[in-house]
Amino acid sequence: MKIDLSEQKILVTGASRGIGKAIAEQLAEAGAQVAVHYHRNSNTAKRVAEDIGRGAETFQADLCKPIEVIQLFDNVLARFGRLHAIVNNAGIAISSEVEGDDIAFTDTWSKTMLVNLHATGLLCKKSIEHFVECGGGRIINIASRAAFRGDTADFLAYAASKGGVVSLTRSIARAYGRQGIKAFIIAPGFTHTDMAEDFIKKYGESYIKSDLALTSMTKPEDIAPTVAFLASGLADHATGCTIDINAGSYVH
């Protein structure tokens, strides 16, 4: 079965590297025009857009700043005219010891929530408003197995933020299904990306693999095809669902 997204325009946050980059590539391969969001590295994002083609364009925004989140969505609409789906992929995972300084812990907690949950919530709000006007659309939010099974002690904020993403997505699916809006959750496990390097260095790859049912760590390209499938409309009656992609390390 071939996925055809040739009529779709899709925003992917954090699309310049890692899981987001693989998702952008997969969507474009299926025919979609992709809005490639990035935070800092414009050259990397431009290369991604050029490589995937099909009219892909880059859009910069610091997701810690709500005004930039709003401008991101508005700028994409101004350029594309219409969105059919959004993939809220961008996220951060910052190690923060509970036994450490209270202010430092609060700062880390707040930044994690701003990027992982607040920005996702605001982009969902903007998407809902747009999709209601246009007759529907799809929201695909990248959460984590940590939302269900928890995480290590130094990543409490990350797990909590992803738990919020799960509840947010399920609520959207229940509240807006009759208005043509479908919402899905993908919950990856530990994925081999640049963002994961600090964790790998701290705990070691053998520690991570010991938790898996498979023999290798999940890669971004293991996640991307599922996003394209959900964007296609072939799984609309699974709205509100969570799809685990974690090499069998957590099945809920």
Catalytic annotation, residues:
158
Residue length of the chain = 252
For residue 157, what are its two tokens?
A: 């904020």
| Residue the block writes with tokens 């209601």 | 132
CA distance 88 to 144: 12
CA distance 143 to 90: 10
**Residue type at position 243:** I
Of 143, 118, 130, nearest in space to 176 by CA: 130
Secondary element (H or E) of residue 183: strand 181-188
Three-state secondary-structure class, residue 216: coil
**Which residues make beta-bridge pairs with 38?**
60
Of 165, 136, 160, nearest in space to 150 by CA: 160
CA distance 10 to 82: 9
**Which residues make beta-bridge pairs with 58?**
36
